[in-house]
């Protein structure tokens, strides 16, 4: 996480409340990756080091979402991974239901889909921005489905839940939001077709701290669609 001082404490407390004592979850390991924020986020995260469920990784510099997630994956001790952002766009109360198909042995990969029939983003004071972002979502999702032979509604959701064994020998390198494309694309190429389940989602606007860069990131996504469809899949 990087510069999430307004949301990080609520995000972590809600996460702990949603998971603690849940009958379907045998053990909890929350790996918090803090990327040397300059807004006070780190100071709020450090106290969680003393929590029995939490492990805090303090990066020396921000390298992007993908780099942070890859760092966290190196510390995973359990058998199932849930990716969770600190921006409070999602509700952690959805996690137990997302884990259900994996815990029941029905699949090794679940996506929490933000698309439940309508548009994903709604900004009352920036309706044009919302329309552009919603259109872009469908363009990239369609491109992904064509290239990877899938029929997914929301391959780029933050909520990606998967068995550790599903990525055991896969190679990952993306540092920014193109990691979303790399992770799903390589899991699909490796034979793990995701189950999509609906989740709550409340998108925040750029003025509220959304970190996607309007030009640079879409360009990296175009590159990622091709590169991770045909490029290196496994570790050496």
Statement: residue 216 has pLDDT above 90: no
* pLDDT tens digits, one per residue of 158-214: 999 999 999 999 999 999 999 999 999 999 999 999 999 999 988 877 666 677 777
Statement: residue 121 has pLDDT above 70: no
3-state SS, the chain, equals CCCCCCCHHHHHHHHHHHHCCCCCCCCCCEEEEECCCCCCHHHHHHHHHHCCCEEEEECCCCCCHHHHHHHHHCCCCCCEEECCCCCCCECHHHHHHHHHHHHCCCCCEEEEECCCCCCCCCCCCCHHHHHHHHHHHHHHHHHHHHHHCCCCCCCCCCCEEEEHHHHCCECCCCCCCHHHHHHHHHHHHCCCCCEEEECCECCCCHHHCCCCCCCHHHHHHHHHHHHHHHCCCECC
Residue 84 pLDDT class (50, 70, 90 cuts): very high
Q: How many CA atoms lie within 13 A of 219 on its CB side?
A: 4
Give the model's pLDDT for residue 202: 84
Beta strand pairing status for 195-198 and 54-58? unpaired
Q: How many CA atoms lie within 13 A of 3 on its CB side?
A: 10
Residue 54 pLDDT class (50, 70, 90 cuts): very high
Give the model's pLDDT for residue 125: 65
Statement: residue 118 has pLDDT above 70: no
Q: What global pTM score does this model have?
A: 0.90
Give the model's pLDDT for residue 116: 66
Give the model's pLDDT for residue 124: 62
Q: Is 142 left (phi over 0), alpha (psi -120 to 50) or beta?
A: alpha
Query: What is the overall mean pLDDT for the chain?
Result: 91
> For 85-96, what is the mean pLDDT?
93
> For 3-14, what is the mean pLDDT?
95
Please say whether the beta carbons of 34 and 42 come within 8 A.
yes
Give the model's pLDDT for residue 232: 97
Give the model's pLDDT for residue 122: 64
Residue ranges of domains in the chain: 8-230
Q: Tokens 């991974």 identify what position?
A: 81
Cβ count within 10 A of residue 118: 7
Q: Tokens 């709550």 identify what position?
A: 200
For residue 201, report the phi and psi dihedrals to the nearest 5 degrees. -150, 130
Give the model's pLDDT for residue 50: 95
Pick the range with the lowest mean pLDDT from 26-30, 37-41, 55-59, 178-182.
26-30
Fold of 8-230: Spore Coat Polysaccharide Biosynthesis Protein SpsA; Chain A (3.90.550)
Three-point CA angle 157, 159, 161, nearest 5°: 125
Statement: residue 227 has pLDDT above 70: yes
């Amino acid at each position: 996480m990087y510069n999430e001082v307004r949301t990080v404490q609520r995000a972590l407390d809600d996460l702990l409340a949603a998971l603690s004592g849940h009958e379907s979850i045998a053990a909890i390991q929350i790996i918090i990756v803090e990327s040397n924020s300059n807004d006070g986020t780190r100071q709020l995260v450090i106290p969680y080091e003393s929590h029995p469920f939490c492990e805090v990784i303090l990066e020396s510099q921000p390298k992007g979402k993908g780099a942070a997630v890859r760092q966290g994956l190196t510390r995973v001790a359990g058998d199932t991974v849930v990716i969770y952002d600190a921006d409070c766009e999602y509700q952690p109360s959805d996690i137990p239901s997302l884990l259900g198909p994996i815990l029941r042995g029905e699949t090794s990969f679940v996506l929490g889909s933000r698309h439940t029939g309508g548009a994903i983003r709604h900004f009352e004071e920036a309706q044009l921005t919302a329309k552009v972002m919603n259109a872009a979502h469908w363009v990239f999702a369609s491109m992904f489905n064509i290239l990877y032979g899938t029929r997914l509604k929301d391959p780029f959701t933050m909520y990606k839940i998967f068995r550790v064994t599903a990525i055991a020998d896969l190679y990952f390198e993306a540092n920014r939001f193109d990691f979303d494309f790399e992770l799903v694309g390589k899991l699909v190429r490796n034979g793990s077709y995701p189950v999509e389940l609906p989740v709550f989602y409340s998108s925040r606007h750029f003025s509220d701290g959304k970190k996607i860069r309007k030009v640079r990131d879409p360009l990296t996504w175009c590159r990622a669609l091709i590169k991770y469809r045909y490029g290196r899949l496994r570790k050496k």
